Amino acid sequence: MPKTPWSHMRLTRLAGPLPAWQGLVDHAGWRAACARCQADGGRLVSLWGTDARHAAQGFLIHALLAWTDRLIWLTTRAGDASPHYPDVSDIFPATAREQRATADLLGLTCGSADARPWLRHDAWSAADFPLREDFTTATAADAKPYPFLRVAGDGVHEIPVGPIHAGIIEPGHFHFSVVGDDVLRLEAHLGYAHKGVEKAFGSLSLADGSRLAGRICGDSTVAYTLAYVMAVEALDGYTVPPRAQALRALLLERERIANHLGDIGALCGDGGLAFGQAQFGLLKEHWLQTHQKLFGHRYLMDTITVGGMACDLSEADGVAMTAQCRELAGALRALEEIVNDHAGLQERFLGTGTLTAEQVERYNGVGLIARAAGVGRDMRLEFPHAPYADLPVQDTRRPEGDVAARVALRFAEMHASLELVRHLLAALPDGPLASHCATTRHTRALGGAEGWRGEIFVAIERHAADGSHRVHVHDPSWQNWPLLELAATDGLIPDFPLINKSFNLAYSGHDL
């Protein structure tokens, strides 16, 4: 039998539809596993900490590794008194911000060179750790300017943008170092939308948590809810009926289409083509009105519940939806031709904000950003769960990595998703919508879904002693924000809004 890369670790299989395993390692094993995973072409999906002092285990630090065809939930102990763990940001550079966030929220340090706060602004002091179990109230901290990395040289100046912008968008600060209109460096500062979501999960029951999960990031409500309920269902051993699984995938694909429509419209608008913005806005509006009519919510909030679905689709509505999909596909082909043939717009898109596959690999980029640079990151293909295992999910990768590729990829993904919706509708299984019988009580479970931005993961840990639980939520934007900085570097300042829109990363999902 061939020796697997993780055979030296004692891994146990986690229940649930994902190929997930868990293991506990020491500090040396932590770094060794990360290095080996990286060498094997794997990636670190998420890194977070938990407070396990109630079980006399001190603090724990967790990493979710995507290692060949497995998801490995690795844990190491950080100790109790002055908790620390080994830094892995030299192996996985995108992890640096998650390590900094862990220091802000739990006070676990790793001795990395960049010890600046990340999610902590002035809402709590450096001595407060909101995710610790003995945390009560925060003491307000003195406002200190965030130390951005300085770029020195002749004619270099700095342009601070945000967190309040001229348009009504989410808060984020972008610090540009420029010469003229050329960007030498972009450094983002996020965390303005931090609202203590992970802490709030602790005060909700596991079933009620799905409503909170659906509100972390409004444009990805289906993906977040799906990832969350998948974890809860794995934890308690629910068997989700096939009809509910199919409907969930249907909603996930419809959510992807709605967001892609909005994004392409906004990209046309940012490029100055108001016609495109209006047309895609119209298509998106019709799409959302269908959601309202069939599922009771424009953005599909609370349609998925633990154990199944809260809404159904009648046969007649399914037929109408198939027709709607065909119509949309036709409209998209016509608009795609207009967008592709518009010399001015293509001039803005082509070669703007280019990412290379190497950069994406280095920063563990995921989702459509990775796919538009030729790196195949798609949970539906990498770790398929029901019903995706039986669906013809297309590989939509493109090699170019620029804004034009991200636009073209969105078009391709919409066609692919429409195809999936039609497949699902053609063979929608009959049967119950939900099952409410919990059969087991595991202590750990993992859920995940390929949202329109990329893979969203939810990890839940239940404490055996008192039944309380800790939820960790991971948004793909953690990996993709550093890539946005790389894509903007060496470009022009006035091109940044276009590059930013072509990424359209989450603030709320990242800041939590």
Partner 1 sequence: MTDRALALQFLQSVLVLAGAPLLAGWVEQCRAWLGNRRGAGPLQPYRVLRKLWRKELVVAHGASWVFRGAPYVLVAAMIIAGSIVPLLAPILPLAPAADAIALVGVFALARMVSALAAMDIGTAFGSMGARREMLIGFLAEPALLMVLFTPALISHSTSLAAIVRQLAATHLLLYPSMAFAASAYVMVLLAENARLPVDNPDTHLELTMIHGALHLEYTGRHLALIEWAAAIKLVTYMAIGIALFLPWGMSATGSLSGIAFATGLLAMKMTAAGAALAFIETLLAKLRLFRVPEFLGTAFMVAVLGILVHFLLGT
Is residue 389 a contact point for partner 1 (CB under 8 A)?
no
Task: Output the six-digit token pair for 461.
Answer: 């840990």
Binding span for partner 1 by CB under 8 A among 267-275, 404-412, 429-437, 454-462: 267-275
Q: What is the DSSP string of 395-457?
A: ----S--SHHHHHHHHHHHHHHHHHHHHHHHHTPPPS-SB--------SEEEEEEE-SSSEEE
Residue 1 vs 166, nearer CB to partner 1: 166
Pairing of strands 455-462, 469-474: antiparallel
Residues in the interface with partner 1 (CB under 8 A) total 35
Q: Residue from 51, 236, 270, 402 that binds partner 1 (CB under 8 A)? A: 270
Choose between 114 and 347: whose C-beta lies nearer to partner 1: 347
Residue of the chain from 273, 375, 405, 425 that contacts partner 1 (CB under 8 A) = 273
Q: Find all residues with CB under 8 Å of 138, minimum gap 6, and list them.
A: 123, 124, 125, 128, 130
Q: Is 167 in the site for partner 1 (CB under 8 A)?
A: yes
- Going residue by residue from 177 to 196, which x/- string records binding to partner 1, judged by CB under 8 A? ---xx---------------
Q: Strands across the sheet with 444-450, in order?
A: 444-450, 455-462, 469-474
Contact 16, 233 (CB under 8 A): yes
Residue 115 or 274 with smaller CB distance to partner 1:
274
Residue of 160, 218, 399, 467 that binds partner 1 (CB under 8 A): 160
10/157 with CB nearer partner 1:
157
What's CA 368's distance to the chain center, in Å?
A: 11
Choices 246-254, 276-284, 379-387, 462-470; region in contact with partner 1 by CB under 8 A: 276-284
DSSP letter, residue 495? G
For residue 294, give the 3-state DSSP assignment. Answer: helix
Sign of the alpha-carbon dihedral angle for 92, 94, 100, 101? negative
Q: Assess 165 for contact with partner 1 (CB under 8 A).
A: yes
Question: Any contact of residue 348 with partner 1 (CB under 8 A)?
Answer: yes
Residues 6 or more apart whose CB falls under 8 angstroms from that of 511 comprise 119, 190, 191, 192, 193, 194, 195
Which ranges in 179-314 belong to alpha helices (H)? 197-202, 209-213, 221-236, 242-270, 274-295
Based on the shown chain and the rule CB under 8 A, indicate whether residue 155 belongs to the binding site for partner 1: no
Per-residue contact track with partner 1, 306 to 345, x per CB under 8 A? ------------------------------------x-xx
Q: Footprint of partner 1 on this chain (CB under 8 A)?
A: 157-161, 165-167, 180-181, 268-275, 277-279, 282, 342, 344-345, 347-348, 352, 492-498
